[in-house]
C-alpha cells in the first residue's frame, strides 16, 4: 500500500460564526493517486484545496500532508511547507504578466532555492512550449498559459500537485492537451488532486470525492 | 532573478511609473532648489546686507584723551591714538571679511572754519560703503577729495572747487571731485586721500579707525571679531550689535521660510508618490498573492516592492536634483544677480530624502496587502 500524502480528519472551515464552508471532512490520498474533487458551486471544493495546499488554515480537524501536521504550523511554517511540498495550478493561470514564460518558472525556483534557467527551459519543453519560452503571458493562448502554470507547479518536484479547475478557462482542444499532460504526470507517479466541475476530468481520476454543502458524501469516497 | 523581476516590472509599468517618477522629480527638484537656496541664499543675502555699511569697528587700544574723546561716540577716532596702517594687511586673510576701510580723522581749518576731515582709502571705502551717493565722481587723483553735502553748503564748495586745508602750521591743497550725501555725520565732513591727511597732520603710517564689513552668518560675527583681535592685539574691536543682530534675524527668517516651504513640498511629493504606489500595489495584489502562494516569504515580496519604490526614488531624486539645481541657479540669478553655489550637502540630502520617501510610501501599502491571505487575493477579493 502506497504511503499517505494527504490525511484529513474531521477537517472544517468556518468563516465568521455562521458560514460553514467545510464541515468535518475526512480525506485520504495516497502517493501516485489522482483524486478529483467535485460538487456544485459553494460546496467547499476550493476551500478543501486551499486547506490541503496550505493556502488557508482549518478551524477544526487535523490535516497531515507528506506526514507533517500542517494544522499546527504558523504562517511562516505554512509558507515554507507550501514552497517545498506543494505545486499549485489555478483556473486563472496567475502568471506574472511582465515576466516571460521561462521567467515565471524561474520565479518559483527562486522562491524555492535558486533560479536555474536551463532547468526552467527543460520544464517548458516538457509541456510542449519549447518554442514559446520568451513569450509574455499576453502572447500565449489560454492553453499555453495553463501549460506554463503546470510547468511552474512541477519545477520544484512537489510531493503533491493541486489543480483548481485547470481546464475551466480552456477551449476543447486546449483542454485535451492539458488533460493529456495530467495523464502523463499521473503515469509518472505524481500525486494529483483536481477540483473540477467537468465530468470528463472526473472520469480520468482514480477516485472522485463529491462535496455538498461543505460535507463529503456519505462514505467520503466514490470510485470514479 | 530578483533584479530581473524588478527590472521587468519597472519596464512594463509605463504611465504609472512615469507618474510616480514625475511626482518624485517634482518634489525632489523643488526640495533641491530650496535646499540649495537656503544654504547659499544666506551668503547671498548676507552680502546684500553688507552693502548697508560696516558692522565692526576697530579702534586703537589706548584710551583717548582730552577734547577728542567725545568724538569716539560718533564713531570718530581722532589723533590722540593710532593703528599702524601696515598692520592692516593681516585683515585680508580673515575669512568672512567682505572689506574694510581705514580712516584717519582730524579737525582741520578750511576757509577759516574748523571742520572734521578724514583721510580714507577711496578704493576700500567703495567696498565697505557702496551706498554713498556722490554728486560728481569718486576721487581718482592723489589730491582729490569728497565734501559732505552740509559742509559743502557751509564752506561754499562744489565739485571742481579747490580747497586749502590747514592743520597747525601745515597746509595742503586739494580739489573737490564730488559732493557726498549719506544722511549721516559724513554730510558734515570732508574726505581726502589717507596719505594727504597723514602728511598734513604729521601722522604718517597711522590710521585712527577701521570700518570692517563682515559677512553675517549665525555666530560668525563673534568669531571674526575674535580672529581680528587675535591678529591685531593693539586694537579694540567693537561690533555694531544692532546691525549684526538684524543681519542674523533676517537670514534666520529666510532660512526658516525656505525650510518650511521645502518641508511642505516634500510632504506633497510624499503624498503623491504614496498614492501612486498605493494604487500600484493594489493593482498588483494578485501578483503578491501568487508570490506568497508560490512560497515567497513576506520579506521577499516586500523587498520587490521596496526596491521598485526605491528605484523610483533614485531616478526621481537624481533627475529632480538636476532640475532643482537649474531652478536654484535661475532664482539666484534673478533674485541675487549671481549664480548660487550648490551645497555639497544638496545631492546626498535630496537623494536620501527621495529614497526614504519612496521606500516609506511603498512599504505602507505593501504591508497592508501582505497581511491578506493568498487564498483571498488569488480569488480576486
CA distance B85 to B235: 12
In chain B, residues with a C-beta closer than 8 Å to the C-beta of A76 are 297
Q: What is the largest CA-CA distance in chain A?
A: 51
Which one of A65, A104, A111 would you mutate to disrupt binding with B, by most B Cβ within 10 Å of its Cβ?
A: A111
Examine the domain organization and report whether B296 and B195 are in the same domain.
no
Do B152 and B259 share a domain, yes or no?
no
Q: What pTM was computed for the model? A: 0.64
Residue A127, Cβ neighbours under 10 Å: how many?
Answer: 24
Task: Check CB contact of B12 with chain A, cutoff 8 Å.
Answer: yes
Residue-level pLDDT at A218: 42
Least confident of A82-91, A136-145, B246-255, B293-302: B246-255
- Rounded mean pLDDT, B276-280: 76
Ranking A117-126, A202-211, B67-76, B94-103 by mean pLDDT, the lowest is B67-76
pLDDT band at B249; cut points 50, 70, 90 = confident
Query: Is there a single domain that holds both residue B186 and residue B278?
Result: no
* B375/A contact by beta carbon, under 8 A: yes
Number of CB pairs, chain A paired with chain B, less than 8 A apart? 66
Give the pLDDT mean for B73-80. 49
* d(C-alpha B174, C-alpha B141), whole Å: 9
> Which residue in B324, B356, B357 sits closest to B38, CA to CA?
B324
Closest Cα partner for A49 from A21, A83, A20? A21
B10 band by pLDDT with thresholds 50, 70 and 90: confident
- pLDDT for B42 equals 60
The reply to whether B111 falls in a domain is: yes
pLDDT class for B66, splitting at 50, 70, 90? very low
Å between A45 CA and nearest CA of chain B: 13
Q: What is the pLDDT of residue B65?
A: 45
Q: Is residue B323 part of a domain?
A: yes
Last residue of a domain, one of B194, B218, B239: B239
Which residue is closest to B301 within chain A, CA to CA? A111
Domains held by chain B: number: 2
B378 touches chain A (CB under 8 A): yes
Query: Is A103's Cβ below 8 Å from some Cβ in B?
Result: yes
* Same domain (yes/no): B164, B235: yes
Instruction: Classify residue B97: in a domain, yes or no.
Output: yes
Query: What per-residue confidence (pLDDT) applies to B86?
Result: 86
Closest chain B C-alpha to A219 CA, distance in angstroms: 28
What pLDDT is recorded for position B103?
A: 92
Whether the CB of B297 is below 8 Å from some CB of chain A: the reply is: yes
Domain annotation covers residue B263: yes
Name the 3-class secondary structure at A57: coil
Q: Give the residue-averaged pLDDT of B215-222.
A: 67
More confident residue, B103 or B70: B103
Q: Are residues B293 and B205 in the same domain?
A: no
% of chain B at pLDDT higher than 90: 16
Q: Which pLDDT does position A3 carry in this prediction?
A: 86
Cβ–Cβ gap A88/B373 under 8 Å: no
The reply to whether B204 and B99 lie within a common domain is: yes
Do residue B193 and residue B279 come from a single domain? no
Nearby residues of B106 by Cβ (< 8 Å), 6 or more positions away = B78, B79, B116, B117, B118, B119, B167, B197, B200, B201
Judge if B260 and B321 occupy the same domain: yes
Q: Which residues pair with A163 in a beta bridge?
A: A89, A194
Low-confidence ranges of chain A (pLDDT < 70): 1, 218-224
DSSP type of residue A132:
-
- B153 within domain boundaries: yes
Q: Classify residue B35: in a domain, yes or no.
A: yes
Q: What is the pLDDT of residue B145?
A: 93
**Higher-confidence position of B331 and B110:** B110
Q: Domain boundary residue among B185, B216, B239? A: B239
Instruction: Give how far B296 is from chain A: nearest CA, Å.
Output: 5
Same domain? For B33 and B80 the reply is no
Check B375 against A84: CB less than 8 A apart: no
Q: Write down the pLDDT at residue B77.
A: 47
Average pLDDT in the B110-116 region? 89
Q: What are the chain B neighbours of A115 within 8 Å (beta carbons)?
A: 1
Q: What is the pLDDT of residue B119?
A: 93
ipTM of this complex prediction, to 2 decimal places: 0.88
The answer to whether residue B244 is domain-embedded is no
Q: Residue B219 — pLDDT band, cuts 50, 70, 90?
A: low
Provide the 3-class DSSP secondary structure of residue B133. strand
Dihedral through CA B263, CA B267, CA B270, CA B274, nearest 10?
Answer: 170
> How far is A157 from chain B, CA to nearest CA, in Å?
13
> Cβ B5–A83 below 8 Å, yes or no?
no
Residue B34's pLDDT band, with cuts at 50, 70 and 90, is: confident
> CB distance B375–A94 less than 8 Å?
no
Put simply, whether A28 touches B (Cβ < 8 Å) is no
pLDDT digits (tens, 9 = 90+) for B120-176: 999 888 878 877 888 999 998 888 999 999 999 999 999 999 999 999 888 999 999
pLDDT digits (tens, 9 = 90+) for B336-376: 666 667 777 778 888 888 888 888 877 777 777 677 778 77
Does A110 sit within 8 Å of B375, measured CB to CB? no
User: Using the beta-carbon criterion (under 8 Å), do A88 and B8 form an inter-chain contact?
Assistant: no
Are B196 and B128 contained in the same domain? yes
C-beta atoms of A98 and B12 within 8 A: yes
**Domain extent at residue B110:** 55-239
The alpha carbon of residue B172 and the mean position of all alpha carbons in its chain are separated, in whole angstroms, by 43
Boundary-marking domain end, from B213, B239, B265: B239
- Is there a domain that residue B255 lies in? yes
Q: What is the pLDDT of residue B190?
A: 94
With CB atoms and an 8 Å threshold, state whether B1 touches A115: yes
Q: Is B16 on the interface with A (CB under 8 A)?
A: no
**Cβ-based contacts of A88 with chain B (< 8 Å):** 293-294
Query: Measured between alpha carbons, how far is A19 from A11 in angstroms, rounded to an integer?
Result: 15
Whether residue B209 is predicted with pLDDT greater than 60 in this model: the reply is yes
Question: Could you give the CA distance from residue B78 to residue B71 in angstroms, rounded to a whole number?
Answer: 7
Q: Between chains, do B373 and A56 touch, taking CB under 8 Å as contact?
A: yes
Q: What is the dihedral of CA A127, A133, A137, A140, to 10 degrees?
A: -70
Residues B371 and B261 in one domain: yes
Statement to judge: residues B101 and B205 lie in one domain:
yes
Amino acid at each position: 500500500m502506497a504511503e499517505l500524502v494527504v490525511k484529513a480528519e474531521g477537517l472544517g472551515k468556518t468563516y465568521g460564526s455562521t458560514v460553514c464552508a467545510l464541515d468535518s471532512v475526512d480525506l485520504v490520498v495516497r502517493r501516485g493517486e489522482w483524486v478529483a474533487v467535485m460538487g456544485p458551486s459553494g460546496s467547499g471544493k476550493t476551500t478543501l484545496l486551499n486547506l490541503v495546499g496550505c493556502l488557508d488554515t482549518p478551524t477544526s480537524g487535523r490535516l497531515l500532508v507528506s506526514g507533517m501536521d500542517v494544522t499546527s504550523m504558523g504562517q511562516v511554517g505554512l509558507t515554507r511547507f507550501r514552497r517545498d511540498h506543494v505545486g499549485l495550478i489555478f483556473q486563472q493561470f496567475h502568471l506574472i504578466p511582465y515576466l516571460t514564460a521561462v521567467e515565471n518558472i524561474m520565479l518559483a525556483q527562486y522562491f524555492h532555492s535558486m533560479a536555474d534557467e536551463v532547468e526552467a527551459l527543460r520544464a517548458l519543453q516538457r509541456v510542449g512550449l519549447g518554442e514559446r519560452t520568451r513569450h509574455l503571458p499576453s502572447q500565449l493562448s489560454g492553453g499555453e498559459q495553463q501549460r506554463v502554470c503546470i510547468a511552474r507547479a512541477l519545477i520544484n518536484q512537489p510531493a503533491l500537485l493541486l489543480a483548481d479547475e485547470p481546464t475551466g478557462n480552456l477551449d476543447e482542444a486546449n483542454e485535451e492537451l492539458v488533460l493529456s499532460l495530467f495523464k502523463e504526470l499521473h503515469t509518472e507517479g505524481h500525486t494529483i488532486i483536481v477540483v473540477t466541475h467537468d465530468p470528463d476530468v472526473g472520469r480520468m481520476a482514480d477516485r472522485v470525492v463529491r462535496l455538498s454543502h461543505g460535507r463529503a458524501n456519505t462514505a467520503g469516497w466514490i470510485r470514479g | 532573478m530578483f533584479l530581473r523581476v524588478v527590472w521587468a516590472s519597472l519596464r512594463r509599468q509605463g504611465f504609472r511609473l512615469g507618474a510616480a517618477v514625475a511626482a518624485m522629480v517634482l518634489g525632489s527638484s523643488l526640495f533641491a532648489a530650496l535646499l540649495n537656496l537656503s544654504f547659499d541664499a544666506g551668503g547671498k543675502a548676507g552680502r546684500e546686507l553688507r552693502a548697508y555699511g560696516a558692522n565692526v569697528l576697530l579702534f586703537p587700544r589706548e584710551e583717548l584723551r582730552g577734547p577728542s574723546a567725545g568724538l569716539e561716540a560718533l564713531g570718530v577716532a581722532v589723533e590722540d591714538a593710532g593703528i599702524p596702517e601696515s598692520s592692516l594687511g593681516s585683515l585680508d586673510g580673515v575669512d568672512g571679511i567682505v572689506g574694510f576701510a581705514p580712516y584717519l580723522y582730524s579737525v582741520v581749518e578750511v576757509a577759516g572754519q574748523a571742520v572734521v576731515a578724514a583721510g580714507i582709502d577711496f578704493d576700500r571705502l567703495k567696498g565697505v560703503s557702496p551706498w554713498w551717493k556722490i554728486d560728481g565722481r569718486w576721487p581718482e587723483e592723489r589730491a582729490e577729495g569728497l565734501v559732505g553735502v552740509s559742509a559743502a553748503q557751509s564752506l561754499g564748495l562744489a565739485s571742481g572747487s579747490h580747497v586749502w586745508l590747514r592743520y597747525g602750521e601745515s597746509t595742503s591743497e586739494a580739489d573737490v571731485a564730488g559732493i557726498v550725501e549719506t544722511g549721516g555725520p559724513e554730510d558734515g565732513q570732508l574726505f581726502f586721500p589717507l596719505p594727504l591727511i597723514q602728511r598734513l597732520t604729521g601722522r604718517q603710517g597711522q590710521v585712527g579707525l577701521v570700518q570692517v564689513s563682515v559677512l553675517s552668518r549665525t555666530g560668525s560675527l563673534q568669531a571674526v571679531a575674535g580672529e581680528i583681535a587675535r591678529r591685531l592685539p593693539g586694537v579694540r574691536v567693537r561690533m555694531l550689535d544692532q546691525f549684526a543682530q538684524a543681519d542674523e534675524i533676517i537670514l534666520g527668517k529666510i532660512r526658516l521660510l525656505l525650510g518650511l516651504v521645502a518641508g511642505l513640498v516634500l510632504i506633497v511629493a510624499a503624498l503623491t508618490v504614496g498614492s501612486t504606489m498605493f494604487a500600484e500595489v493594489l493593482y498588483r495584489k494578485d501578483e503578491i498573492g501568487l508570490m506568497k502562494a508560490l512560497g515567497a516569504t513576506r520579506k521577499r515580496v516586500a523587498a520587490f516592492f521596496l526596491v521598485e519604490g526605491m528605484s523610483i526614488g533614485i531616478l526621481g531624486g537624481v533627475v529632480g536634483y538636476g532640475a532643482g539645481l537649474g531652478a536654484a541657479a535661475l532664482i539666484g540669478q534673478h533674485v541675487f544677480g549671481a549664480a548660487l553655489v550648490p551645497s555639497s550637502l544638496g545631492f546626498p540630502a535630496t537623494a536620501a530624502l527621495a529614497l526614504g520617501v519612496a521606500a516609506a510610501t511603498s512599504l505602507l501599502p505593501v504591508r497592508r496587502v501582505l497581511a491578506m491571505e493568498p487564498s483571498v487575493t488569488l480569488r480576486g477579493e
